[in-house]
A and B are shown apart, each in its own frame.
Chain A
Amino acid sequence: MEKMSRVTTALSGSALTGRTMHCHLDAPANAISVCRDAAQVVVAGRSIFKIYAIEEERFVEKLNLRVGRKPSLNLSCADVVWHQMDESLLATAATNGVVVTWNLGRPSRNKQDQLFTEHKRTVNKVCFHPTEAHVLLSGSQDGFMKCFDLRRKDSVSTFSGQSESVRDVQFSIRDYFTFASTFENGNVQLWDIRRPDRCERMFTAHNGPVFCCDWHPEDRGWLATGGRDKMVKVWDMTTHRAKEVHCVQTIASVARVKWRPECRHHLATCSMMVDHNIYVWDVRRPFVPAAMFEEHRDVTTGIAWRHPHDPSFLLSGSKDSTLCQHLFRDASQPVERANPEGLCYGLFGDLAFAAKESLVAVESGRKPYTGDRRHPIFFKKKVDPAAPFAGLASSALSVFEMEPGSGSMSWFVDTAERYALAGRPLAELCDHNAKVARELGRNQVAQTWTMLRIIYCSPGLVPGTNLSHSVGKGSSCGLPLMNSFNLKDVAPGLGSETRLDRSKGDTRSDTVLLDSSATLITNEDNEETEGSDVPADYLLCDVEGEDDELYLLDPEHTHSEEPEYVLPQEAFPLRHEIVDTPPGPEHLQDKADSPHVSGSEADAASLVPVDSSFSLISVSHALYDSRLPPDFFSALVCDMLRFYAEQGDVQMAVSVLVVLGERVRKDIDEQTQEHWYTSYIDLLQRFCLWNVSNQVVKLSTSRAISCLNQASTTLHVNCSHCKRPMSSRGWVCDRCHRCASMCAVCHHVVKGLFVWCQGCSHGGHLQHIMKWLEGSSHCPAGCGHLCEYS
């Protein structure tokens, strides 16, 4: 209540107005101080001492106090202070140790009033008593504080800090007789002005010099101190021992600290080096400044709130020779720009997510329960229930984990571990890998492997079981109608070759070929195919006619045939629970080519013989008559590999590349292959699949890759007896002719893998040691050491 009335009186009549502005000074400023009327500011520096009027739009120079011909050292100001009761009274602290008072009421040009030359070194700070008109306090580099009565010629009393230089002195607003002083050794002292013999209280506030302090204007027991240790600390001086209430960590040494008027927890700081900005902190949120003023281009040396009851105007002087007025609403707010969320995708598909609690609470706030529950807890936690501080923020961290087996990357690990890449005939490899893929529910990949086997393995080599297997599989995923028909009708009638072909058709590999060519044709011959929008009935058109048509097709019929292959793509959503293949081929055409080759001409090129709708037949014919050379497909296979790579399944691309080896390698440029290899190896290593990764490295033909496991494979060993390097063999020393590494368990020479305890250096065969450790944790050599193996 009392406060409120004071505010109204103070701001009665005209509230302060103005804008963010600055004016250029002639020289760097060292300190500034505001007049009681909040309309004038004095700027003091080594070679400047001026009073500016603060107008609406600009600063106007009102008075230059630096008069006289020869510049006196007395005018080189380290600090300046304007009396808060007497608008005509100023005091400056000079770098030569002189304290000068100025009376603006003097009629002459020279306003200098009194000169106290009592300090021996620079005076760092001067301070008027807040209520007593004639009392001035000074603190100097020489370690003394002096109290002057302006009615007398010399100091009334001298206070000796008994320690290093005084950096700041401030009269308490709470106690008439008390003042605080800060020292370069990190101490803060509390003095009673009546007792110059010793300080009332002393405590170490900072690590290193304490450059500044400021009494809280309202909470009168609070003292803020700032030091070279980059910290601002708020002390409660009312208790018996000074208690640290808050601690703000800034990014540079704190040169000035000033409580913000009317904002109980705010204070402004500036730094004396590196950092040119002025920060306003909320001491309850000590890590992030509430506001930041970035106008200055050099170190800010003085800050002052323009009016003791107006929190929005801050004045500052700087080494960059400018005087600024900052408006709080123009400040940049790092809090606002700070990113409130963190998000990271893990290796196994898990997501780490950290978010500001309030953001998350907004969501849950829709639920009545959560909203109700929050508040009591909120208040309970608060030490000070009067001021629940909204600005204080914390984040909720959670990890969303994939349920095992559902969508995690386990398919990748399983596939990598179970794929067979070499050491068996191609057909077996393909079959094995197809089986692996199918078991992991990756049907398209399984299909691809099956197709590859069919393409690259001569049918004679395909064992009958495999064949029937693939037919059976085909029936499980192809069109049921088609299959039942084919199985009973075609299979018995035709030879093994045709059966193979049939099965291919069912497993959609045939569809791939026909599809791709068919789509191609649509692309190229669109003019003559105007009828490509075929009724949907074709989806289940008479399949039994298919065989004949394949033989007897003329161009028109081809197109009527075509939808049968195209339609499954459109109808894909209908059937995709059953099998996911149909979109693949179309996708392959669409995507795989686009980045590499431009447009469909390239497609045509890749399928050289396929050049009109006739070729569709010729393909079918060829399949029936003799076999196409696998080379015929290699372009297609390459496109398929690219497709997989673009889809993010580099595993498939590399696996196929390794399995097919020379058959396809020459068609893909070395650089792309290398890229795939490195990507896949990197991925394997992420999942710690070192063995698979090494196998891939070994099987790769790219020189850049296969050298990967050739580097740093040398191991230098020294003999355990004579400490000399062992050159030829790793297990017997040439010099002392002793076997270097004996197994502590079986007492034989270890020629291969030798494990040993780093504590007692005894060890032996890996197997033996492992076995030994199952029974005992003591060293097998009997040295009594409790061995540690990691």
Chain B
Amino acid sequence: MFVARSIAADHKDLIHDVSFDFHGRRMATCSSDQSVKVWDKSESGDWHCTASWKTHSGSVWRVTWAHPEFGQVLASCSFDRTAAVWEEIVGESNDKLRGQSHWVKRTTLVDSRTSVTDVKFAPKHMGLMLATCSADGIVRIYEAPDVMNLSQWSLQHEVSCKLSCSCISWNPSSSRAHPPMIAVGSDDGSPNAMAKVQVFEYNENTRKYAKAETLMTVTDPVHDIAFAPNLGRSFHILAIATKDVRIFTLKPVRKELTSSGGPTKFEIQVVAQFDNHNSQVWRVSWNITGTVLASSGDDGCVRLWKANYMDNWKCTGILKGNGSPVSGSSQQGNANPSLGSNIPNLQHSLNGSSAGRCFFPPLDSPRAGWSRPSYAQLPPPPLVEHSCAADTASLQYPHPRRASLSRPLNPLPENEGV
């Protein structure tokens, strides 16, 4: 189902981040070798490096694209304590011949005194805004008041998190009912440090970002955090990469019930928690509809997670990181042609077809890491019962196809061990 296309990145050190642009046709990579590369997809689907330039004097941790409405704009952040905004200059025709586009630095944001660990553009409806977070625990929000002038950025907010920050994520919701919101993760390793994920919300009255929530259950270092694309949902989905993959839902409690003017109250639920990576999880990324989560961990694998019709999150695929044997998934496709139309429908979340692909054997369900939230005030997630119900149901109604359904999963090393 997936075809791996290996790209000779030719970075001289670790690549720390990959980022697709708004339309999915360009890709930017950044590396410890202090450079950023931009890749363009050709007609044939190959990725060509069209620009590579030295961006910082330290490791470049993150690179991110702005909405194309603001031009071809990238932001990068680095160990050298700066974040930078880059714009592509439409070259002369002889530039085109060389196939290299030209990126110029529009601004350097030098407010941080420590390594800038993440940079993210705000959702488009907020204008041209940029958030950075740094190892000294400060989230800074910049705004370019004139979108035509990318060299002028003013520092609008400084939010102190009191913990060394490692990642941030804007809530992408464009609803007027959802004030601007930003989630911050910390990789602070000190044992006494508390909850590692904080959610800040913009308050229209005070014109400040105020802490709306702290996810008390996340106490291990967080390496990545990502709000799912909202797409009209009334609640928010937040994925967290820590020692395991966790998915939270944040449901705003209706305004009438809360005191007006204060921060929105949320009903927070852990809807999934997986330690299948058996190690640190480094990255999480949502697909465009917010229905499939991809996570990558120290085991060098990418795992795909998806909720079935019961809102029960399951693994729907494992991709090997080196790209060569994507056997895991391709074998699945070949192994049961009988399921032909069902297998590929990863995206067809609505008919729940893919849920059938990945029924864990019943023994596996504790392993999947369903743990109840340890704090009492939240109702235990209903999914525990559901998952059991689903599994027992599948046992009670043995179906000739059941065997062939669970079979394709077994090539994956994880399940072999069970």
Contact = CB atoms under 8 A, between A and B. Distances in A.
| Genuine A/B complex | yes
A683 B3 contact: no
Contact of A788 (B93, B296, B349): B93
Contacts of B13: 285, 287-288, 393-395
Contact of A642 (B45, B125, B223, B234): B234
Contact of B31 (A343, A366, A395): A395
Most buried by B among A353, A359, A405, A573: A353
Interface stretch (A121-129, A210-218, A507-515, A669-677): A669-677
B20 A346 contact: yes
Interface stretch (A134-142, A334-342, A458-466): A334-342
B58 A595 contact: no
B198 interface: no
Given A342-B283, A648-B291, A686-B24, A355 B7 contact: no
A401 B5 contact: yes
Contact of A342 (B17, B125, B346): B17
B296 A334 contact: no
A779 interface: no
Interface string B279-320: 000111111111110111111111000000111000000011
Nearest to A344: B18
B233 A350 contact: no
Interface string A654-683: 100000000000000001101110111011
Contacts of B324: 364
Interface residues of A, number: 104
B12 A287 contact: yes
Contacts of A441: 341, 345, 348
Contact of B397 (A339, A573, A676): A573
A399 interface: yes
B22 A402 contact: no
Given A288-B59, A400-B2, A577 B20 contact: no
A686 B231 contact: no
A351 interface: yes
A692 to B, nearest CB: 15
A776 interface: no
A343 B326 contact: no
Given A650-B231, A682-B174, A401 B356 contact: no
A153 to B, nearest CB: 47
B415 interface: no
A361 B9 CA distance: 17
A725 B124 CA distance: 33
A360 B322 contact: yes
Contacts of A288: 13-14, 32, 59, 79
A394 B80 contact: no
A653 interface: yes
A398 B15 CA distance: 11
Contact of A406 (B1, B22, B31, B286): B1
Interface string A258-279: 0000000000000000100000
A203 to B, nearest CB: 23
A684 B156 CA distance: 31
A341 B283 contact: yes
A627 interface: no
A686 B319 contact: no
B352 interface: yes
Interface in A568-584: 570-574, 576-577, 580-581, 583-584
B393 A646 contact: no
B9 A399 contact: no
A399 B294 CA distance: 13
A251 B60 CA distance: 12
B230 interface: yes
Contacts of A344: 17-20, 27, 285
Contacts of A442: 348, 350-351
B173 A675 contact: yes
Contact of A646 (B16, B229, B233, B399): B233
B234 A595 contact: yes
Given A342-B29, A394-B11, A398-B7, A672 B350 contact: no
Given A251-B80, A363-B299, A338 B14 contact: yes
Most buried by B among A356, A397, A587, A590: A397
Given A339-B223, A647-B291, A399 B5 contact: yes
Given A343-B283, A403-B1, A574-B397, A363 B320 contact: yes
B388 to A, nearest CB: 14
Most buried by B among A572, A590, A648, A687: A648
- Tell me what chain A mostly uses at the interface: helix, strand, loop, or mixed: mixed
A571 B58 CA distance: 58
B285 to A, nearest CB: 4
Interface string B315-337: 00001111111100000000000
A362 B299 contact: yes
Interface stretch (A4-12, A407-415, A631-639): A407-415
Most buried by B among A334, A354, A363, A409: A354
B6 interface: yes
Contacts of B356: 573, 576
Given A403-B344, A573-B397, A647-B291, A354 B34 contact: no
B175 interface: yes
A591 interface: yes
A649 interface: yes
Nearest to A673: B232
B154 interface: no
B397 to A, nearest CB: 6
A251 B235 contact: no
A648 B289 CA distance: 5
A348 interface: yes
A360 to B, nearest CB: 4
B339 interface: yes
Given A287-B32, A406-B1, A345 B20 contact: yes
Contact of B1 (A345, A356, A407): A407
A443 B351 contact: yes
A112 interface: no
A224 interface: no
Interface string B330-371: 000000000101101111111111001000000000000000
Interface in A712-729: none
B378 interface: no
Contact of B288 (A398, A409, A653, A671): A409
B98 interface: no
Contacts of A348: 24
B61 interface: yes
B362 to A, nearest CB: 14
A396 interface: yes
A443 B351 CA distance: 7
Given A288-B13, A349-B346, A354 B29 contact: yes
Nearest to A539: B397
Interface in B257-298: 282-292, 294-298
A374 to B, nearest CB: 11
Given A338-B14, A360-B300, A580 B351 contact: yes
B4 A645 contact: no
B300 A355 contact: yes
A590 to B, nearest CB: 8
Contact of A395 (B11, B61, B124, B302): B11
Given A394-B14, A396-B6, A364 B29 contact: no
Contacts of A671: 175-177
Interface in A469-522: none
Given A334-B79, A354-B17, A581-B351, 11 more contacts: A346-B20, A353-B296, A355-B300, A394-B12, A397-B29, A400-B319, A411-B348, A583-B310, A646-B232, A653-B232, A679-B232
The 5 closest A-B pairs by CB, nearest first: A347-B24, A398-B323, A580-B351, A406-B344, A675-B175
16 contacts: A287-B59, A288-B13, A343-B285, A344-B19, A351-B294, A363-B322, A364-B322, A394-B13, A409-B289, A442-B348, A576-B352, A583-B310, A675-B176, A678-B125, A679-B232, A686-B288
